[in-house]
Chain A
Amino acid sequence: MTSLSPSNNLSSTGGDPSVAHDDQQHGEHGDHRLFGLATFLVADGMTFAGFFAAYLTFRAVNPLPAGAIYELELLLPTINTVLLLASSFTFHRAGSALKRSDRGGCRTWLLITAALGFTFLAGQMKEYFSLPFGLTDNLFASTFYAITGFHGLHVTLGGLMILIVWWQSRTGGRVSADHPFPLEATELYWHFVDGIWVVLYAILYLL
């Protein structure tokens, strides 16, 4: 794509029409897939917002029975938070490497990101098995598993997407500096999942 992006065309409304319609005349238009994904992530974020709102309301309105008040172990989730934040950083490195057309570096950083993601999931599993409550024990337990489980589902999907992008980037045909969309989309999604975790960690563990 040339430097003349569609949004530039739109802002220069008084401009020469023969230049202005150049972009669309051939039935093509700019790539709006990242914009579409961002809109979807807003929607996805609203699902989490609904869960968080439900959790906070439950906490405020529904007192738990005495046996259902737990001190959550903080060490493992904190390590997990660090892992996930680090993975956002490594994913960013992968993106920068792709922009420099450093495919090898990009693939290495992708693998490191995926490894961090799956380590996070392993940590999450370890936490699940060490917790003193099960899904249906009480309102807090149910909400805890629903929210962390829904987030874990997102991490799992993201990890698989990273591996797919890693696989696609092996030849440089489908993912490259000229075709960065699969990587950019996965990166945007991954940052979103990280951001959600930070909120989740604050609300569920720290609050």
Chain B
Amino acid sequence: MTISLTPETAPAHGPSLQPQGWLRYLSFSTDHKVIGLQYLVCGFLFYLIGGALAGAIRTELLTPISDFLPRQTYNEVLTLHGTVMIFLWIVPVVNGGFGNYLIPFYVGARDMAFPRLNAVAFWLIPPAGLLLISSYFIASAPESGWTAYPPLSLTTPATGQIIWILSVLLLGGSSIFGGINFIATILKLRRPGLKLMQLPMYCWAMLGTSILVVLSTPVLAGTLVLLSFDIIAHTGFFNPALGGNAVVYQHLFWFYSHPAVYIMVLPAFGLVSEILPVHARKPLFGYTTMVYSIMGIVFLGLIVWAHHMFTSGTPPWMRLFFTIATSFIAVPTGIKFFNWLATLWGGRIALNSAMLFSCAFIINFVFGGITGVALAQVPFDIHVHDTYFVVAHFHYIVYGGTVFVIFASIYHWYPKVTGRMLNEPLGRLHWLLTFVGFNLCFAPQHWLGLNGMPRRVAEYDPQFQLINQFSSVGALLMAISTLPFLINVVMSAFNGEPAGDNPWRALTPEWLTSSPPPVENWKGEPPLVHEPYGYGIKPGDISLTDTSGRDLWRLGAGSDSRS
């Protein structure tokens, strides 16, 4: 993707020592917009790799017998698929990608709090990803799943497992550096006069996410170091044969990896809260409840981890506590869900690609949320534990939830990033294929799980074949859906209709500058936006004197009243 910035934007700062043009995207740039795009493009490349791995899994599962891949390779493929998709696609893109691009705009800053740390955080990712993929060619890839539970991770080949640990440690470090940067930027770099409760919702989502990153990721890092001792030095922390305790690993692992689900989905909540008001021309409903819901999810997210371990000999009191705590998460999540519905209610909805993906997110996510509440109940969880029901639930959250929002966000912010519009018919085709493909792929897996098909297997009972084939057809549709998207983003970068500064007539600060934005975001003073969601409000009801983007307010209000 080549994006040219106007070079005459920073005459007062002297000649830049950083490379210009597309080479910037391969450099150690400290510009938050460049870093954001680096995260996005790098993440998308890993998404293609992870998608190819998913394709291999779904091809193997077309038939009940193990015929497409050797069994060991199948285990390697499913491990790499999970690790790549979580640590190299969703977490970096939805946090580092959009976070770096948008957060400085939203707080009215010219860059992140620690630009060099920011670049370091990004440049840890490509080596870590290549290291992980290279394990397949060096020795053998890790085979113990993305959870790397001991004793399985102690008995599978050590080289691949150690490379996996190294890679995840690097990615965890990157994530922590990013989280520190977001917390400092949001809390310390706000433009004077901008209050916390006036920030766009994505800032709150990223603040909550970063708190989770800072509190939980280090625990995973420490745990993986202990696991590597078990593998290399033959200590017995998690090895029952040496007097260790494998369940302690599970506790420590899920202390990170349950919050990791929120690290993946909270930023998506934030992004969708930015997109819906713009295309529905209404203020975000329930701003304050939204903020408290996010912080409630952050708190609850830290105390629910053992609901992944109901079959790990968990004592009854622990089951009770974690069931109740997990069920409570449905409350703040439900508040957000109804806030989004209320935002859409009575709006002048533009059903463009960004809106279609956002609405699909709401549908998919509420379905994944309902199965999530079901899974929190011990009797039900024991029935479907380690079955395809869990696979379906998880993918409804991370794909139906987060990935749909990533696409919605790309359709929404592409004009800002490149200065050109995406092709709308291609975007809707992409949406249709993704939505149908996704639901065809994962909805039947609920049935498979309820009927007892275990996950992570290459062979299964022949009675499940037909449903698995439906699922694989859905996966094929999802793979095909990537084509119109890729064609769209590449072609539109050259031939797209010029977008202008603010094609959506949006009010958040990133739209109050040129497209693409200049190096330090605004040529003049950063705008002070007190009402980022003031759509459809009569001009007299808002204080225009506080708003630097007042011309845009008038423009937006004027054309609203015309219809």
A residues in contact (CB < 8 Å) with B: 6-7, 9-10, 13, 15, 17, 20-21, 23-25, 27, 29-30, 32-33, 35-36, 39-40, 42-51, 53-54, 57-58, 61-62, 64-65, 135-136, 138-139, 142-143, 146, 150
Taking the closest CB of chain B, its distance from the CB of A47, in whole angstroms, is 4
Instruction: Give the residues in chain A near B222, CB-CB below 8 Å.
Output: 47-48, 50-51, 150
Count the A-B residue pairs with Cβ separation under 8 angstroms: how many?
138
Interface hit among B108-116, B271-279, B395-403 = B108-116
Contact of B188 among A6, A46, A146 (CB under 8 A): A6
Of residues A25, A29, A39, which shows the largest number of chain B Cβ atoms within 10 Å of its Cβ? A39
| Contact status A21-B192, CB under 8 Å | yes
Taking the closest CB of chain A, its distance from the CB of B241, in whole angstroms, is 12
Instruction: Give the residues in chain B near A30, CB-CB below 8 Å.
Output: 188
Closest to A9 in B: B192
Taking the closest CB of chain A, its distance from the CB of B251, in whole angstroms, is 7
| Contact status B214-A43, CB under 8 Å | yes
| Contact status B218-A43, CB under 8 Å | yes
Instruction: Give the residues in chain B near A15, CB-CB below 8 Å.
Output: 193
| Contact status A146-B243, CB under 8 Å | no
CA of A40 to CA of B178 in the docked complex: distance in angstroms?
Answer: 11
A142-B237 contact in complex given A36-B114, A39-B184, A43-B215, C-beta closer than 8 Å: yes
CA of A29 to CA of B191 in the docked complex: distance in angstroms?
Answer: 10
A27-B180 contact in complex given A46-B218, A62-B245, C-beta closer than 8 Å: no
User: What 8 A-B pairs have minimum CB-CB distances, sorted nearest first?
Assistant: A20-B192, A50-B219, A9-B192, A142-B235, A47-B218, A46-B218, A47-B222, A50-B222
Is B233 engaged at the interface, CB distance under 8 Å to the other chain?
yes
| Contact status B525-A27, CB under 8 Å | no
| Contact status A57-B113, CB under 8 Å | no
Is B367 engaged at the interface, CB distance under 8 Å to the other chain?
no
Closest to B245 in A: A62
Is B248 engaged at the interface, CB distance under 8 Å to the other chain?
yes
CA of A136 to CA of B251 in the docked complex: distance in angstroms?
Answer: 22
Closest to B251 in A: A57
Is B444 engaged at the interface, CB distance under 8 Å to the other chain?
no
Q: Which of B237-271 contact A (CB under 8 A)?
A: 237, 242-245, 248, 251-252, 255
Instruction: Give the residues in chain A near B229, CB-CB below 8 Å.
Output: 142, 146
Is B80 engaged at the interface, CB distance under 8 Å to the other chain?
no
Interface size on B, residues (CB 8 A): 51
Taking the closest CB of chain B, its distance from the CB of A202, in whole angstroms, is 19
| Contact status B192-A139, CB under 8 Å | no
| Contact status B243-A49, CB under 8 Å | no
Closest to B256 in A: A50
Taking the closest CB of chain B, its distance from the CB of A161, in whole angstroms, is 17
CA of A29 to CA of B529 in the docked complex: distance in angstroms?
Answer: 20
CA of A31 to CA of B251 in the docked complex: distance in angstroms?
Answer: 38
| Contact status A32-B528, CB under 8 Å | no
| Contact status B237-A139, CB under 8 Å | yes
Is B526 engaged at the interface, CB distance under 8 Å to the other chain?
yes
Instruction: Give the residues in chain B near A27, CB-CB below 8 Å.
Output: 13, 110, 520
Instruction: Give the residues in chain B near A36, CB-CB below 8 Å.
Output: 113-114, 117, 180-181, 184
| Contact status B252-A53, CB under 8 Å | yes
A42-B226 contact in complex given A32-B113, A36-B117, A143-B237, C-beta closer than 8 Å: no
Instruction: Give the residues in chain A near B243, CB-CB below 8 Å.
Output: 62, 64-65, 138-139
| Contact status B221-A47, CB under 8 Å | yes
Is B167 engaged at the interface, CB distance under 8 Å to the other chain?
no
Name 30 A/B residue pairs within 8 A (Cβ), A-sorted. A7-B188, A13-B192, A13-B193, A13-B194, A15-B193, A23-B192, A24-B108, A30-B188, A35-B187, A36-B113, A36-B180, A43-B179, A43-B217, A46-B215, A46-B219, A47-B222, A50-B219, A50-B255, A51-B226, A54-B237, A57-B245, A62-B243, A135-B233, A136-B235, A138-B236, A139-B243, A142-B235, A142-B237, A143-B237, A146-B229
Q: Which of B519-545 contact A (CB under 8 A)?
A: 520, 525-526, 528
Taking the closest CB of chain B, its distance from the CB of A89, in whole angstroms, is 28
| Contact status B191-A24, CB under 8 Å | yes
Closest to A50 in B: B219
| Contact status A54-B221, CB under 8 Å | no
CA of A48 to CA of B188 in the docked complex: distance in angstroms?
Answer: 27
- Contact pattern, B 209-225, Cβ under 8 Å of A = 1, otherwise 0: 00000111111011101
Closest to A19 in B: B192
| Contact status B188-A61, CB under 8 Å | no
CA of A44 to CA of B177 in the docked complex: distance in angstroms?
Answer: 12
Is B71 engaged at the interface, CB distance under 8 Å to the other chain?
no
CA of A43 to CA of B218 in the docked complex: distance in angstroms?
Answer: 6
